[in-house]
Chain A
Amino acid sequence: MATNVDRRKFLTVLGVSGGGAVALSGCSTDRVQKLVPYLVQSEDQVPGVPTWYASTCTECSAGCGVHVKTREGRAIKLEGNPAHPVNRGKLCARGQAGLQGLYNPSRVKGPMLKENGAWKEITWDDAIARLAQEVGKASGRVAVLSTPARGTFSDLLDNWVGAAGGTVTRWEPLDLEPVRMASRLVYDTDAVPGHNFAEAHFILGFGDFLETWNSPTEQQIGYAESHGFNGDAARHVQVGARRDLTGLNADEFLSAAPGTEAAVALAMANVISGGGSGPFASLIGEWTPDAAERASGVSAARITAVAREFAAASPGLAVAGGIAAQGDNALALAVAVAVLNSVAGNVGRTVLPAAAVPTGDGLAGMQRLMAAMDGGQVGLLMVHDANPVYALPKSYGFAEKMAKVPFKVSTGHFLDETAEACDLLLPNHHALERWDDLRARPGVTGLMQPVMEPVFQTRHTGDVLLGVARAIGGGFAQFTAASFEEHLKQAWAGSTGGDAGWRAALAAGGAWDGAPAPSSSAAAAPPPPTPAPAFAPPAAPAEGDFTLVAFPHAFLYDGRGANRPWLLENPDPVTKITWHPWAEISLETARRLDIRRGEIIRLVSDHGSMELPAYPYTGLHDRAIAVPLGFGHTSYGTFAQDAGPTPLDLIGPPGSTPWINYAGTRVQLEKTHGFKDVATTEGNPRQLGRGIAEAMPIEYARRGLTVKESHLAAGAGHHEINTPLEVEAIAGWREEQIEARKLGDYAEVHPAWGMSIDLSRCTGCSACVTACYAENNIPTVGYDDVLRGREMSWMRIERYWEGGEDGEPLEARFVPMLCQHCENAPCEPVCPVYAAYHTVDGLNGQVYNRCVGTRYCGNNCPFKVRYFNWYKYNEKAWPEPLHMQLNPDVTVRARGVMEKCTFCIQRIRGAQHDARLEDRQLVDGEFTTACAQACPSGAIVFGNRRDPASRVSEVSHDPRGYVVLEETNVRPAVTYLAKVLHAPEAGA
């Protein structure tokens, strides 16, 4: 896709004016008393024209580059930075919801001190003085808990703590400790290796890599490159106990008992290396396919066949991702997969130990901190960007140990569980309000700059540290910078080569060396084998026992997203559940114990128990029970609280493994008589042969067959879409249409906007859903209204099941469903007041002002993509200051009117106006819809279908192209490209 022209222009502006944003005002709530026009118009502030700033996403540790769209001094949307090597212009749902972290109503509004158990607002001067005093009192016993994210701030923090005397612990939940350890053992590099999905011809997954693991957006971009169909496609086989989103995208899923994935990986390595010869013989020798079958339940024949395919693909890529690499046998799995990649010759090609992702101190560091707190060796604890009281299992006793620290400080944005246990709150600026940088990985550093005035009376923690240093003096004299901004610029001065270089880096969003993706050029020889850990498959659980798989929620992740309504209402990609946690049980378990969806079940472990609504799921191993992390906050703002329990409460105290054992706890299941309505957006998950999500075998796709031809080739009966009589009627209708088109404005030549969606690339990640919410001011409706099917998602991801019964393999098909902007739209003629009408450029318009709310259009829409404002969602969905995120280009709809996807008409008109002002033609790809912009897979293409050279025309004419519900003759403007099924090669 062509680069966004207007954006580049704005960034140029930015490079010149540097950090002009700090000088801007107009967004803070309480300080503005009078509206006074500018005496001198600010150069980069034109009312009505957005200003873009480059920044870096801090929602997870991947370090994606973002472009922040601001209007009149407020950030209103986050999009990927197209030039950034990590995410190449794309951004996941969690990243986009960073905006709801900025404007979250539960943010701490200023410094606070706890006195007699109650929080009291104080001034920043008092707060810094108090901290300086406490640092002095702690006399060298300062402990700081921070995230593994590294950058200029973390260097400053190290030095500061060094001067104060103490330690910094870098930890975050769900870190990749086992993978890092395996990398040290097998590749001799002490870091998580980079993965090059794009160049893999065969992907072998042993855990999630599309939802949350490591750098999901980057991985998804690469995955879509290789696994999406473009003449050919990589095959993807997934091994695991639970079919997460990655598992649902796989062409074949091998269901292994929880904790035994390593056996399968080792057996595959065994097959590839010819029965276990070679450098890893001692490790893989005993793991024949038969042994692995006994341990895991995966058939030896499939293990052998897949291993051969994997070896033949060259290069393939095996990934020990997701929760499988966080359980009992996580290290064994990570080592096994590293060995598998090694024997298959992938190291240096798709597995890049050199392109390492930094990690923190792991659980070992955290345990040292806890021991120190317990032993009274910590006088002052400062928690920065972490919430261990919530994120560590209760059985670890962090809160109790923390209570022994005399003085505790938090710099968090929210009054979360950890902040609640502190004595002093020094809320940091949000990432969009502050100067900062982030070293995503070697050679890639992202910059952050304030894009608007702070929403609240927060202060940059760097400035706080410098302020404390000034107050104490003495050993802190080395900190001379007046502000963190100055400190950051000094730190960058050396590497960027002066002011011009700094400005260039700022405009670009950071600095990185040329290669846009982990390079595969540096081929590294397999390192010498090191003593590998022994792998013992977990003992089969006792009768009635299950293995708990506590997996990170696709959007809430470890719980940090739990106070963002966009993430709570975006349905989980697998179960499509919103707003509350659930417990997945296998269909077999559900049948045996007669448990239906929504029945409350009690999970009991040695360490706790909890009650959750059951969700029987075909994709789960019989021995497993899967529960999402992320809920169960007791203090994280109104949206997060009282949502339900977190499985962390079931997990026992730290064992021998230096990572949290998210998978492997033994739990018993007890029935209760309770019931909870599960707030899923799923209607009927079966297509009933209606051809909504089409798919074809890869051999037909390679031959260029159309969907219809592929059905015929597969032996399905010939099915005429319309009868001869209907065909005649349609022909007559066409004539009339042509006549009607000669009238008025419709007679002129206009574009015909259209879209194509490639289902072979779509992974169902739902980034487009959040993009749509952000761009179009879509309200979230909450649990009760989701139960009544009233979610307003203009763009929704339908997830249909195929097979999965009578021993057939389960297949998932994801269909992004949005208004199809039908040429012959059934919603238009039935509107009594012309609120639904057809624009001259082929859009299905909706005039909110004119709508009286008869809802006839909604009934008559065969795709069911019209959404009605049942309540005053516009007054409830954006509690102050969340309303600041609203896009001023899009009407906020009142109750009582119908709304729907507009193909981002504000973007179309904006681009048309720009082109008009510049007296030129609109260029294909110059702009696109919010969903297409966000889609990490590049599955969505938007453009003018009337222009034969446009990309959307080209893609829509792909043989795999089809329209949904063709028999209704509504003539959608959205063309879907059939998914491609990559079954095992014949004879494999």
Chain B
Amino acid sequence: MTAVAQPRITQTHADVTRDVVATLQTPSRGYYILLFSAVGLFLVGLLTFLILIKDGLGHSGYTPPVMWSVYITTFVFWVGIGHAGTLISAILFLFRSPWRTAVYRATEAMTVFAVMTAGLFPIIHIGRQWVFYWLLPYPNQRYLWPNFKSPLIWDVFAISTYLTVSTLFLIFGLIPDVAAVRDKARGWRKFIYSQLSLGWTGSDNQWRHYSRAYLYMAALATPLVLSVHSVVSWDFAASIVPGWHGTIFAPYFVAGAIYSGIGMVLTLLIPLRKALKIEHMINEYHFDNLSKLTLLTGSILFYAYAMEYFVAWYSGNTFEQTTFFRRAFGPQWWAGWTMIICNAFVSQLLWFRKIRTNLTALFVISIFINIGMWFERYVIIVSSLSNDYVPWAWDVLNPTWADWGILAGSFGWFGMYFLLFARTFPIVAIQEIKEMIPMPRRRAGGGHH
């Protein structure tokens, strides 16, 4: 550990367990208000979806040639959100970044729920939702098989793999913590936590196996962070739509995904730490580091945006040029500028340490990031489709209640799970925090986490 980045841990092991388990006690009124709002939003989305099934997708604002719009935008948005968790829990674990410990559980949960949310959209957005399983390669008497050339099939595999691995990773990481909660719990709760802790006793043997397995899982999850969003980006890049068809797309999307994921982490953690009274566990030190990561990925995005315009200009390709001109000055210029300002420019504020450690400022910035990244996908999808090869077919899409209903529903669905999780499982990783506390009993060097 270097001298600059030291977590300020002042508690004892007992304090940590006490504080974290305290987060699982009877919730406050504020929690219920949040939970019911989330469930309410989810019901709005559900109702909208039922109407879409009944009548068809026409209620949504689809305006050919724009045949993908808010639903795919929101899909990519949630997949992107889902990237911060695995990045923080797996990649930073491999890089031995100490600041991840306090936040990784929350981000991992966020990842799983974000991917669960994203996974709904390919079903919601298709024309005949009830035959979505035709996208899966299952044996059938008609010898029908999906088209493995189609990026959408790659998507099916990428998302389902990612959901599986990140869920396993989350559950696996929870085992020692659940056991810690089990020890404090009573009644039927104790029974449930006992089952979930899979007989964890904390023996040295268990710890040895656990640490080894965690390391391997982290190694397994790491490439997924890069691959999943690369595959999602190929939904676009493998097409011939100007504004989509770019070799830059995979790294560009991965950087964007991490950027948006950390944005969402900030949005969730800043209020959550207060609500759960764990400010001392997740503090400025963590936010400073998260902000630096945000700054890095935000700058990559800045570069990518600039490079897109450069390529459009340098290629001499008139279709490409028109698309990018209209992104900035076309009928939906406001969306294009929202994306550039919120992502490329706002992230540059994080060069200042004062802002990085000012939680109010960070919270505001994180909201900008969320909005900006949603609009980035909106711009890429909607604005590019609005004006491609044949000018006669151009049209401008305006979203409708059905678009907003599903978008709201997705936040409700996500929020519902996240809130329930935060009250059911330790949102801060007990055992990893404990590891940060200097302990004479533990072997030096921290060989196994």
Footprint of B on A, CB under 8 Å? 682-690, 692, 785, 788-790, 796, 798-800, 815, 817, 826, 829-834, 850-856, 858-860, 862-864, 867-872, 894-898, 964-965, 968
- Contact check, B387 vs A872: say whether CB atoms are below 8 A apart: no
A896 to B67, CA, bound (A): 12
B303, CB-defined interface residue at 8 Å: no
The segment out of B237-245, B262-270, B344-352 that lies at the interface is B237-245
Chain B residues in 8 Å Cβ range of A789: 63-65, 393, 395
- Contact check, B391 vs A868: say whether CB atoms are below 8 A apart: no
28 A-B pairs, CB-CB below 8 angstroms?
A683-B390, A683-B395, A690-B318, A798-B390, A817-B392, A829-B147, A829-B150, A832-B146, A832-B156, A833-B135, A834-B147, A852-B127, A852-B135, A853-B57, A854-B126, A858-B65, A859-B68, A859-B241, A862-B389, A863-B393, A864-B64, A864-B388, A868-B62, A870-B62, A872-B56, A894-B128, A896-B129, A965-B389
- Contact check, A832 vs B67: say whether CB atoms are below 8 A apart: no
- Contact check, B392 vs A684: say whether CB atoms are below 8 A apart: yes
Query: How many whole Å from A369's CB to the nearest CB in chain B?
Result: 48
Q: Which of B58, B146, B152, B390 has the most CB of A within 10 A?
A: B390
A638 to B319, CA, bound (A): 43
B149, CB-defined interface residue at 8 Å: yes
Task: Please judge, given known A-B contacts A789-B64, A855-B68, whether A896 and B127 are in contact too, CB under 8 Å.
Answer: yes
B7, CB-defined interface residue at 8 Å: no
Contact of A853 among B126, B153, B391, B394 (CB under 8 A): B126
A869 to B127, CA, bound (A): 8
Q: Which of A817, A854, A858, A965 has the most CB of B within 10 A?
A: A854
- Contact check, B391 vs A684: say whether CB atoms are below 8 A apart: yes
Chain A residues in 8 Å Cβ range of B127: 851-855, 868-869, 895-898
A869 to B238, CA, bound (A): 25
A833 to B147, CA, bound (A): 5
Residue of B nearest to A792 (CB): B64
B322, CB-defined interface residue at 8 Å: yes
Query: How many whole Å from B4's CB to the nearest CB in chain A?
Result: 49
- Contact check, B390 vs A788: say whether CB atoms are below 8 A apart: no
Query: How many whole Å from B407's CB to the nearest CB in chain A?
Result: 19
A790 to B240, CA, bound (A): 22
**Besides the known contacts A800-B391, A895-B56, 9 further A-B residue pairs in the complex with CB atoms under 8 A apart:** A688-B391, A788-B61, A829-B150, A830-B150, A833-B146, A851-B127, A852-B135, A859-B68, A863-B390
Contact of B393 among A683, A851, A871 (CB under 8 A): A683
A799 to B319, CA, bound (A): 20
A798 to B389, CA, bound (A): 13
B3, CB-defined interface residue at 8 Å: no
Chain B residues in 8 Å Cβ range of A683: 390-395
Residue of B nearest to A688 (CB): B391
Chain A residues in 8 Å Cβ range of B115: none
Query: How many whole Å from A972's CB to the nearest CB in chain B?
Result: 12
Chain A residues in 8 Å Cβ range of B64: 788-790, 858, 864, 867-868
Task: Please judge, given known A-B contacts A692-B390, A896-B56, whether A856 and B240 are in contact too, CB under 8 Å.
Answer: no
Query: How many whole Å from B445's CB to the nearest CB in chain A?
Result: 50
B444, CB-defined interface residue at 8 Å: no
Chain A residues in 8 Å Cβ range of B388: 862, 864
Chain A residues in 8 Å Cβ range of B58: 785, 790, 870-871
Residue of B nearest to A785 (CB): B58
- Contact check, A833 vs B62: say whether CB atoms are below 8 A apart: no
- Contact check, B67 vs A788: say whether CB atoms are below 8 A apart: no
Task: Please judge, given known A-B contacts A834-B147, A896-B128, A897-B127, whether A868 and B67 are in contact too, CB under 8 Å.
Answer: yes
Chain B residues in 8 Å Cβ range of A871: 55-56, 58
A852 to B146, CA, bound (A): 11
Chain A residues in 8 Å Cβ range of B122: 854
Chain A residues in 8 Å Cβ range of B126: 852-855, 896
B32, CB-defined interface residue at 8 Å: no
- Contact check, B63 vs A690: say whether CB atoms are below 8 A apart: no
Query: How many whole Å from B86's CB to the nearest CB in chain A?
Result: 25
Query: How many whole Å from A194's CB to the nearest CB in chain B?
Result: 37
A689 to B235, CA, bound (A): 29
B1, CB-defined interface residue at 8 Å: no
The 10 closest A-B CB pairs, nearest first, are A853-B127, A896-B127, A870-B58, A683-B394, A864-B393, A684-B391, A798-B392, A855-B67, A896-B128, A862-B389
- Contact check, B128 vs A853: say whether CB atoms are below 8 A apart: yes
Query: How many whole Å from B396's CB to the nearest CB in chain A?
Result: 9
Residue of A nearest to B53 (CB): A896
B112, CB-defined interface residue at 8 Å: no
- Contact check, A685 vs B392: say whether CB atoms are below 8 A apart: yes
A693 to B358, CA, bound (A): 59
- Contact check, B128 vs A826: say whether CB atoms are below 8 A apart: no
- Contact check, A862 vs B390: say whether CB atoms are below 8 A apart: yes
Task: Mark B389-418 against chain A: 1 for CB-CB distance below 8 A, else 0.
Answer: 111111100000000000000000000000
A523 to B389, CA, bound (A): 53
- Contact check, A859 vs B131: say whether CB atoms are below 8 A apart: no
A683 to B394, CA, bound (A): 5
Query: How many whole Å from A574's CB to the nearest CB in chain B?
Result: 15
B14, CB-defined interface residue at 8 Å: no
Query: How many whole Å from B305's CB to the nearest CB in chain A?
Result: 22
